[in-house]
Structure 1
């Protein structure tokens, strides 16, 4: 059974929250961010204000996935993570 958009949002927020509080993460989390954002972008039930921030989150996941120093990438995006968490709530 596929996850509905509410579950996808919860997972996305959990990953971003963990990156924000732990200042570290994994490549697989970045890949999961990309998959979640792609799915949410095409979902008609997702509010437009949320869709407006999703491309930035996607870029964060994609850049993180290819980063040689993922923890530094996450650390350098602390302000954006805080902003995104507020916008997704």
Structure 2
């Protein structure tokens, strides 16, 4: 059963919040973030103001997927993670 828009936003927010809180994550989480962002970007109901935020999250997940030190990547993006969660929350 596919996730609806709100489920996708909630899952995206949960993963980002967990990475921010725990300062660690996995390649699988980065891949999940990519899939969620891609799915949300093609949603015609998406607020256009959130697209730049989703692109930043996509870039973050791409970089995280290929970094040699994912925990350090997450640590250096703490402010971004907080900002993204706040921004997504305001559009969902």
Q: TM class by shorter-chain length?
A: over 0.9
Aligned to 1:47: 47
Structure 1 residue ranges (4+ consecutive) displaced by more than 4 angstroms after TM superposition:
none
Alignment TM-score, normalising by the size of structure 2: 0.94
Question: Aligned residue for 2:87?
Answer: 87
Secondary structure in 1 matching 2:60? helix
How many corresponding residue pairs? 89
Task: State the alpha-carbon separation in 1 of the partners of residues 87 and 51 from structure 2.
Answer: 10
Q: Deviations over 1:20-42 (max 9, x none)?
A: 10000000000000000000000
Deviation of the 1:64 alpha carbon? 0.3
Structure 2: give runs of 5+ residues left out of the alignment. none
Provide the C-alpha distance between the structure 2 equivalents of 1:22 and 1:49, rounded to a whole number of angstroms: 28
Alignment of 1:69-80 (within 5 A): 69-80=69-80
1:35 and 1:50 mapped to 2: Cα distance?
16
Shift of 1:67: 0.8
- Partners of 1:41 and 1:63 lie apart in 2 by 19
Following superposition, the deviation at residue 46 of structure 1 comes to 1.5
